[in-house]
Amino acid sequence: AGAPLPRAMTVGEIQAVVEAFAQAACRAQKAGFDGVELHAAHGYLLNQFYSPLTNHRTDAYTGATLAGRLRFLLEAVRAAVGQELLLAVRLGAGDDMPGGTTVEDSVRACQLLEQAGVEDAAFDARELCRLCCKADPRLAPDSPVPEAAQQRLAQLCARRARHEPLQYLLGEWDF
């Protein structure tokens, strides 16, 4: 009388998803894209492993350590990097909840992702806006995007206009 309850993925299921990321990256390359972006924010699958609020595993993908929480994402990165594409990762800036990821976790995660071959490991601008609005009560949650984020968006648009590399956001829907 309803949907089945969620359950932890098996290691085999995790490996199948890693392979699916590699295959999706290959399809993006064949379609003419210069790069892909792995979406590890906003509660999507990779973010569920990254956040200790949703990752209650006790195996190698444990939610108790940053290394364990990043393992799935790093495996997906290595699979996609093998396709000789530019690779970016979109990571939430922090859970902003007790026991969740912090901005400091995300900074360290970005460093580790770049060491693994990610060209652009960055926080999602909406996440930063949300955290900034909470930290500074003078800013309303629906405030316009800060100038720095607007400048970054303008830079990305300018790169595209000059026919510089174009990325494709890779999410679960691409499998």
Establish whether 50 is a catalytic residue. Answer: no
d(Cα 92, Cα 68) in Å, to the nearest integer? 17
d(Cα 94, Cα 37) in Å, to the nearest integer? 19
pLDDT one digit per residue (tens) for the chain, 175 residues? 688 888 999 999 999 999 998 888 888 888 888 888 888 888 899 999 999 999 999 999 999 999 999 999 989 888 877 657 888 888 877 787 899 988 778 878 888 888 888 877 766 544 444 444 444 444 444 545 455 544 554 454 444 444 444 444 444 444 4
CA end-to-end span of the chain = 28
Q: How many residues does the chain have?
A: 175
Sign of CA dihedral 45, 172, 10, 5: positive
Of 44, 50, 61, 168, which residue is the catalytic one? 44
d(Cα 99, Cα 114) in Å, to the nearest integer? 25
73 with 90: CB under 8 angstroms?
no
